[in-house]
Amino acid sequence: MKVLVAVKRVIDYNVKIRVKADYSDVDLTNVKMAMNPFCEIAVEEAVRLKERGVATEVVAVTVSPKAAQEQLRTALALGADRAIHIETDERAESLAVAKLLAKVVEEEQPGLVVLGKQAIDTDNNQTGQMLAALTGLPQGTFASEVAVDGDKVNVTREIDGGLQTIALTLPAIVTTDLRLNEPRYAKLPDIMKAKKKPLDVKTPADFGVEVASKVSLLKVESPAERKGGVKVASVDELIDKLKNEAKVL
Amino acid sequence: MSILVLADLHEGQLAGATAYVIAAAQQIGGDIDVLVAGEGVQAAAEAAAKLDGVSKVRVADNVVYAHQLAEPMGALLVELADGYTHVLASASTTGKNVLPRLAALKDVSQLSDVLAVDSADTFKRPIYAGNAIATVKSDDVLKVITVRTTGFDAVGDGGSATIEAVDTVVDNAQSSFVKQELAESDRPELGGAKVVISGGRGMGNGDNFKLLDGIADKLGAAIGASRAAVDAGFVPNDMQVGQTGKIVAPDLYIAVGISGAIQHLAGMKDSKVIVAINKDDEAPIFQVADYGLVGDLFEFLPEIESKI
């Protein structure tokens, strides 16, 4: 079966972000960008399904500005067979991305779609669920184990309080949690080979999807700073401070 | 304004998170109905009816809603959402799993992890692992929202709402429950504990987490962990505090052997008082800690246990 994997270009997870002086957004100029960590796990899972002979083809897709072709090439270097870039400079919210991915699902007819559970910039945790709703397919979110068995997939999910295993009919949508796998690094020869792999560029208009959202971003500000604390010299001093100064013991 | 709150359940009982979501709903203003959906949830419905500010509890008690699988829950919410201006749930794994389905099926956006209500259409939510706070305005006809419970104070339980049954039964041939493994603990739940003590990679191994037990028992604390400690296999992942784990805001948070990576701070930096115990006096955790103790945790932990 074919596996579709969605990836997003985001600010590198190690970068300390800066809010713009006019509070309009986070400043992304000259900031290191990378593939969203949950998406890396999604790509790795898709490639492992191919290595196990479950998947026959892995197609990577992104909805983003032109620069994200870098992340699609990364996905290709990690083992995806081809890529689809839906290019837009507009701020694409989860619902618009889900609508575009639904069109790609309709065209490509994958047996499984794998996405990250959330992007580390918007922290929405929505796109996979919305895609499942729009395509009418079942969903296995926050997956820490994915086992394809014939025309079903068993997904072990990380839930509050522990783990839950559900069985879904294929085709299905899966979103990855951190513990699903440990992504590999791309090797130089694979990076070179990835440059020759096919990458289709499309636009939202090709699919007849409006990217504009009814949610507007009014302001972005830094959270309240915690004031620097004190270092204490001993356990006795710590307990004394917690009892008499902070009054939490 | 008319608000539907999806009740959180834990093993069929009403979870504490619901009282916080109702507090958020009260700030929006208007009639507040609570939906309790599951199998064998009459007791949960009665508990929900006692929460202050609730007008009506709607109970969908059917085997198809057992374990609150996303497909039937989404279909049920779509049936019930007409007539409401807002649908709210806590940002628990269930709320996050189910509500985006409702939003997409209604062709509206969803606002995740809302931590403050500015008005009925304007909300604050954290982005970039809590390193920025976005104020967002939704012009959608239906506002679908998950609520970060640590942003609100729970409502009391002096109410007496009416309870009515919901007859809607949906089909679900696409997903089925196989099994679950819940971590067992006598300690308070991590998300709602007044005191949390967490261990990081500095704990060295899983056995050393026992050093936290005595202190946790004395303080009535929940025990958490950093992602590094979970990834190293020291403790199960449902103990993880951080952007990708639980978000906590206790009165006292004690971080032991935790460096303070961005992803961990996202889960605990709204705690009232933070204590850090770390041998590296340059560790970033000291920049957010109210009280820092530099040195060997293996010496400090037994001493703390004996002196509190």
Per-residue model confidence as pLDDT tens digits over A68-86 = 999 999 999 999 999 999 9
Q: In this predicted structure, what is the pLDDT of residue B92? A: 94
Rounded to whole angstroms, the Cα distance separating A85 from B60 reads 43
A160 Cβ under 8 Å from any chain B Cβ: yes
* Chain B interface disruption, residue of A160, A175, A239, most B CBs within 10 A: A160
Q: Which residue of B has its CA nearest to A230?
A: B291
Per DSSP, the three-state class of B264 is helix
Per-residue pLDDT of chain B (308 residues; tens, 9 = 90+): 999 999 999 889 999 999 999 999 999 999 999 999 999 999 999 999 999 999 999 999 999 999 999 999 999 999 999 999 999 999 999 999 999 999 999 999 999 999 999 999 999 999 998 999 999 999 999 999 999 998 999 999 999 999 999 999 999 999 999 999 987 778 888 888 999 999 999 999 999 999 999 999 999 999 999 999 999 999 988 899 998 888 999 999 999 999 999 989 999 999 999 999 999 999 999 999 999 999 999 999 999 999 99
Per DSSP, the three-state class of B132 is strand
Q: Which residue of B has its CA nearest to A241?
A: B291
A170 Cβ under 8 Å from any chain B Cβ: no
Rounded to whole angstroms, the Cα distance separating B70 from B100 reads 10
Question: Please, is B153 exposed, middle or buried when counting C-beta atoms within 10 Å of its C-beta (0-12, 13-18, 19+)?
Answer: exposed
C-alpha distances out from residue A106 to A17, A129, A137, Å:
37, 16, 11
Tell me: cis bond preceding A171? Omega within 30 of 0 counts. Answer: yes
Q: What is the mean pLDDT of residues A97-111?
A: 98
SS3 content of chain B, % helix, strand, coil (to 5): 30, 30, 40
Q: In this predicted structure, what is the pLDDT of residue A75? A: 98
Are B265 and B226 within 8 A, CB to CB?
no
Q: Which residue of A has its CA nearest to B233?
A: A179
Shortest distance, CA A243 to any CA of chain B (angstroms): 10
Contacts of A149 in chain B (CB under 8 A): none
Q: At what angle do helices A235-244 and B297-307 cross, to 10 degrees?
A: 50
C-alpha distances out from residue B120 to A209, B21, B26, B85, B87, Å:
28, 14, 10, 9, 12
Tokens of B196: 């949390």
Are B150 and B249 within 8 A, CB to CB?
yes
- Contact between chains at B100 and A94 (C-beta distance less than 8 A): yes
Of B50, B29, B100, B226, the closest CA to residue A126 belongs to: B100
Are A120 and A37 within 8 A, CB to CB?
yes
Q: What is the mean pLDDT of residues A140-145?
A: 97
Pairing of β A172-176 and β A112-116: parallel
Contacts of A132 in chain B (CB under 8 A): 70, 101
pTM for the structure as a whole: 0.93
Shortest distance, CA B197 to any CA of chain A (angstroms): 13
Rounded to whole angstroms, the Cα distance separating B289 from B257 reads 13
Taking all residues of chain A, what is their mean pLDDT, rounded to a whole number? 96
Rounded to whole angstroms, the Cα distance separating A94 from B184 reads 35
- Three-state secondary structure along chain A? CEEEEECCEEECCCCCCCECCCCCCECCCCCCEEECHHHHHHHHHHHHHHHCCCCCEEEEEEEECHHHHHHHHHHHHHCCCEEEEEECCCCCCHHHHHHHHHHHHHHHCCCEEEEECCCCCCCCCCHHHHHHHHHCCCEEEEEEEEEEECCEEEEEEEECCEEEEEEEECCEEEEECHHHCCCCCCCHHHHHHHCCCCEEEECHHHHCCCCCCCEEEEEEECCCCCCCCEEECCHHHHHHHHHHCCCCC
C-alpha distances out from residue B219 to A22, A222, B194, B203, B222, Å:
45, 33, 9, 20, 9
Predicted confidence band at A249 (pLDDT cuts at 50, 70, 90)? confident
* Chain B interface disruption, residue of A126, A163, A225, most B CBs within 10 A: A126
- Please name the member of A178, A219, A248 whose beta carbon is closest to the beta carbon of B251: A248
**B126: which strand partners?**
B133
A56 Cβ under 8 Å from any chain B Cβ: no
Q: What is the mean pLDDT of residues A124-153?
A: 97
Is residue A98 over pLDDT 80? yes
Mean pLDDT is lowest, of A54-58, A63-67, B59-63, B244-248, for: B244-248
Rounded to whole angstroms, the Cα distance separating B60 from B21 reads 19
Residues A184-227 have pLDDT tens digits of: 999 999 999 999 999 999 999 999 999 999 999 999 999 988 87
A91 Cβ under 8 Å from any chain B Cβ: no
Q: Which residue of A has its CA nearest to B128?
A: A121
Q: At what angle do helices A94-108 and A127-135 cross, to 10 degrees?
A: 50
Dihedral sign for Cα B128, B131, B137, B140, please.
Answer: positive
- Please name the member of B176, B238, B291 whose beta carbon is closest to the beta carbon of A229: B291
Phi/psi for B131 (5° steps) reads: -85, -5
Q: What is the mean pLDDT of residues A52-56?
A: 97
Type and span of the H or E element at B28: helix B17-28
Shortest distance, CA A33 to any CA of chain B (angstroms): 13
Q: In this predicted structure, what is the pLDDT of residue B237? A: 85
Contacts of B294 (CB under 8 A, 6+ apart): A231, B278, B279, B280, B281, B286
- Contact between chains at A214 and B110 (C-beta distance less than 8 A): no
Rounded to whole angstroms, the Cα distance separating B123 from A116 reads 25
Q: In this predicted structure, what is the pLDDT of residue A232? A: 96
Contacts of B69 in chain A (CB under 8 A): 166
Are B134 and B124 within 8 A, CB to CB?
yes
- Please name the member of A129, A215, A220 whose beta carbon is closest to the beta carbon of B109: A215
Shortest distance, CA B105 to any CA of chain A (angstroms): 6
